[in-house]
Chains A and B, each alone.
Chain A
Amino acid sequence: GIQVEQSPPDLILQEGANSTLRCNFSDSVNNLQWFHQNPWGQLINLFYIPSGTKQNGRLSATTVATERYSLLYISSSQTTDSGVYFCAVRTGGGNKLTFGTGTQLKVEL
């Protein structure tokens, strides 16, 4: 099956710093989503981005499907950005969303 690798696995930032999270995948995809799992376990949809670039406030994402990667940018990070960021992809006509193992982000004051 498709492999989804996220980097870095862990990241500690000072409040106000910027960061880039990466998601590499091993096969063509037709669905890619970024999620934020907050410390209470809730999964929050960030982006549905099988290709192209999207922005939402301090967050933006870019997927280059032909090169099999996606990037999530967090600017001016805040402590509320802490948690785990997951990339998830779907291939072909399948119904399974395959998740990466996540990037654990901690934003400190």
Chain B
Amino acid sequence: DADVTQTPRNRITKTGKRIMLECSQTKGHDRMYWYRQDPGLGLQLIYYSFDVKDINKGEISDGYSVSRQAQAKFSLSLESAIPNQTALYFCATSESDGRLPPGELFFGEGSRLTVL
């Protein structure tokens, strides 16, 4: 089983619908992230969380919200999906041992979202 699990892996939806992507991890890491990848490009950071009480916006947070339900769970929501949110979404984790910067990132398998 994967250490970082994303659901759903694929989703097709319509403009205006609310969508939630879920991420759970068994690595015991404190830090969790949501990234977005558009075709032919690298990844951009949407939101990140250092612990259940700490949520921070990334570089492209508009149109998205997140919830850190537990140390192991971090969900991403699109309140009203639009076609330019069609992308591949990745959840990631990294450990925190009190030092900065955080270390190696581990990614989930990705969630492919299509908004029609």
Interchain CB contact under 8 A, A43 and B107: yes
Among B44, B58, B101, contact of A90 (Cβ-Cβ < 8 Å)? B101
Q: Which of B1-42 contact A (CB under 8 A)?
A: 31, 33, 40-42
Chain A contributes a number of interface residues (CB within 8 A of B) equal to: 24
Interchain CB contact under 8 A, B58 and A99: no
Residues of A within 8 A of B109 (CB): 41-42
Interchain CB contact under 8 A, B90 and A95: no
Q: Which of B94-116 contact A (CB under 8 A)?
A: 100-107, 109-110, 112
Which residues of B are at the interface with A, using a C-beta cutoff of 8 A?
Answer: 31, 33, 40-45, 48, 50, 56, 58-59, 88, 90, 100-107, 109-110, 112
Which residues of A are at the interface with B, using a C-beta cutoff of 8 A?
Answer: 4, 30-31, 33, 35, 41-43, 45, 48, 86, 88, 90, 92-102
